[in-house]
Structure 1
């Protein structure tokens, strides 16, 4: 059976990681694209600040092509025993093209308002999460610059996360994926 690779796309803070974490408990393998960049930063002894990780993401793409971050997760896809793999944080069509070589790709866009996303990111508290509106806007612009709006626009389906509980968000995603499996 061909692997189903479900790519979660959406602006920072929309709820992609919440969904990925929740779907892991449903038995799916999950791969976080941002963690791949964080691991590369660790290898290079870079502090995982938003600015450093953003620069590194852009440098990887510049040096190795726009699908570079997706190339880094290939070993995880190949080693996965699961028929459904959730990829958290696809940012461009070039990454999707890389992933298509390893299974059937479906794109699920997660939407949330700007205010909601900023609130979620401040609560999450990862080392690279923006704490000011200015950092938040910089990050959004960087994501838009690598083509995330195209992957969102071309998604197979979308979920809005403005007033859902975590459980409702995870359940809505799970139902969409179950529909794609059938």
Structure 2
């Protein structure tokens, strides 16, 4: 089984990469959906739910929930890992090595993207944006860049980034089918 995990700071382009995977017919599971489902269930904000879930359930909680949603497939894409512990949980449960793709983008572009996408938990001012980045990095997101198998830079047009994602996914699929 090929497990591709996409990670990166908010606004870096994870959703675009996941959408490209879906367009290619790959199943995609989004870790943020678990957070939003729990937030809705407990009637709290998604940003608060993220903290509460990890405090209550441990560093592998979200990954453990995601594993329950993985379809039977030769390939699966997981969007939104935040820590090495989540990667380890996925690798342990599926007895396979994860291919980790880290997406980076300049902070100003990420902030502008978050302002324009309109999710309720997106920061509206630069201070909130910086605090969110700090929180994400404290979860362990920064450590994942050292573990990344591939780093995609999203600093140009959406079409150029989509092309980079498509090429990487095709390359990974080709390598997975190689003898």
TM (normalized to structure 1)?
Answer: 0.88
Secondary structure of the residue aligned to 1:85 is strand
Q: CA deviation at 1:104?
A: 3.0
State which of 57, 63, 71 in structure 2 corresponds to 1:70.
Answer: 63
Which runs of 5 or more structure 2 residues have no equivalent in the other structure? none
Secondary structure of the residue aligned to 2:121 is coil
TM (normalized to structure 2)?
Answer: 0.90
1:115 and 2:117 correspond: no
2:169 is matched with which residue?
A: 174
Q: CA deviation at 1:132?
A: 1.3
Q: CA deviation at 1:143?
A: 0.0
The CA distance in 2 between the partners of 1:41 and 1:173, in whole Å, is 33
1:89 and 2:87 correspond: no
1:5 is matched with which residue?
A: 3
Secondary structure of the residue aligned to 2:4 is strand
Q: Would the aligned equivalents of 1:19 and 1:173 in 2 still touch at CA under 8 Å?
A: no
The CA distance in 2 between the partners of 1:138 and 1:8, in whole Å, is 22
Q: Would the aligned equivalents of 1:29 and 1:85 in 2 still touch at CA under 8 Å?
A: yes
Change (3 A) 1:180 1:137: farther
Q: CA deviation at 1:127?
A: 1.6
Secondary structure of the residue aligned to 2:68 is helix
Q: Would the aligned equivalents of 1:54 and 1:142 in 2 still touch at CA under 8 Å?
A: no
1:157 is matched with which residue?
A: 150
Q: CA deviation at 1:170?
A: 3.1
Secondary structure of the residue aligned to 2:12 is coil
RMSD of aligned residue pairs (Cα, Å): 1.5
Change (3 A) 1:176 1:140: farther
Per-residue CA deviation, residues 64-92 of structure 1 (Å, 9 max, x unaligned), is 21111101111111xx1321111111000
State which of 23, 32, 50 in structure 2 corresponds to 1:25.
Answer: 23
Q: CA deviation at 1:145?
A: 0.8
